[in-house]
Amino acid sequence: AQKITQTQPGMFVQEKEAVTLDCTYDTSDPSYGLFWYKQPSSGEMIFLIYQGSYDQQNATEGRYSLNFQKARKSANLVISASQLGDSAMYFCAMREGFGANSKLTFGKGITLSVRP
Amino acid sequence: KAGVTQTPRYLIKTRGQQVTLSCSPISGHRSVSWYQQTPGQGLQFLFEYFSETQRNKGNFPGRFSGRQFSNSRSEMNVSTLELGDSALYLCASSLSLRGLETQYFGPGTRLLVL
């Protein structure tokens, strides 16, 4: 089974509107972290936000927030007030376990296009 | 602080050649990971180094190797290049945030094998 699933096709959003990018995950480890990265066409992966499995509150970082629903195993990224510069690929990733041997597993990504 | 830097940014090689890519982590970060990104396979983990020792390894053939130096800089080497090695190679250094290793990526090296 895939550990990280991002099934949305290319997403479009109007500038200044909010958009939700979906991510579901699969793990039996009680300790894990969920991450979102942005990859513009230049190629660099930009860290946006993360949520630990034991965090009591949903993570927020500026215009980014993570809608963490543990029972559903989903960690959706919400971008508020979209900007043209938000157009990029967005990857959800998970690190299982907090130990030295834990690895980061990425989903296949979602393309977001912001329309003016 | 300066971010993760990777050199070179672009590279063209021919089949059978070998290539070495370099990565300098964020100052103070001791862990460096390497990833290969292709349109077909997505992001795949290659290996991770911590304090000059390989700590984790992905499912890549032995043609892919790496090392880390005492200043945490890392190099990745691919020998006997194949057309399928054409990819974006990303390096990331890690910092522990609230007990969780968070990776910060460099701009990548785009390798084209002809």
Predicted confidence (pLDDT) per residue in B62-71, tens digit: 999 999 999 9
Q: What is the pLDDT of residue B109?
A: 96
Which pLDDT band, with edges at 50, 70 and 90, does B73 fall under?
very high
* A33, A44, A47: residue with CB nearest B107: A44
Which pLDDT band, with edges at 50, 70 and 90, does B9 fall under?
very high
pLDDT of residue A97 exceeding 80, the answer is no
| Mean pLDDT score, A31-55 | 93
> Which positions in chain A have a beta carbon within 8 angstroms of at least one beta carbon in chain B?
33, 35, 37, 42-47, 50, 52, 55, 91, 95, 98, 100-109
pLDDT of residue A25 exceeding 80, the answer is yes
**How far is the C-alpha of B35 from the C-alpha of B111, rounded, in Å?**
13
Angstroms from B55 CA to nearest CA on chain A: 7
* A33, A47, A100: residue with CB nearest B50: A100
Instruction: Please report residues of B whose CB lies closer than 8 A to that of A100.
Output: 50, 55
Three-state secondary structure call for residue B9:
coil
**How far is the C-alpha of B2 from the C-alpha of B47, rounded, in Å?**
23
Enumerate the β-bridge partners of residue A43: none
Pair A64, A36: CB distance under 8 Å: yes
Angstroms from B91 CA to nearest CA on chain A: 10
A80's CB contacts (< 8 A; 6+ apart) are A18, A63, A65
**How far is the C-alpha of B77 from the C-alpha of B91, rounded, in Å?**
13
**How far is the C-alpha of A89 from the C-alpha of A82, rounded, in Å?**
14
Distances (CA, A) of A92 to A89, A109, B41, B84: 10, 7, 15, 25
Sequence-ordered strand ranges (E) for chain B: 5-7, 10-13, 19-24, 31-38, 42-50, 53-57, 64-68, 74-78, 87-97, 100-105, 109-113
Angstroms from A91 CA to nearest CA on chain B: 10
Q: What is the pLDDT of residue B1?
A: 67
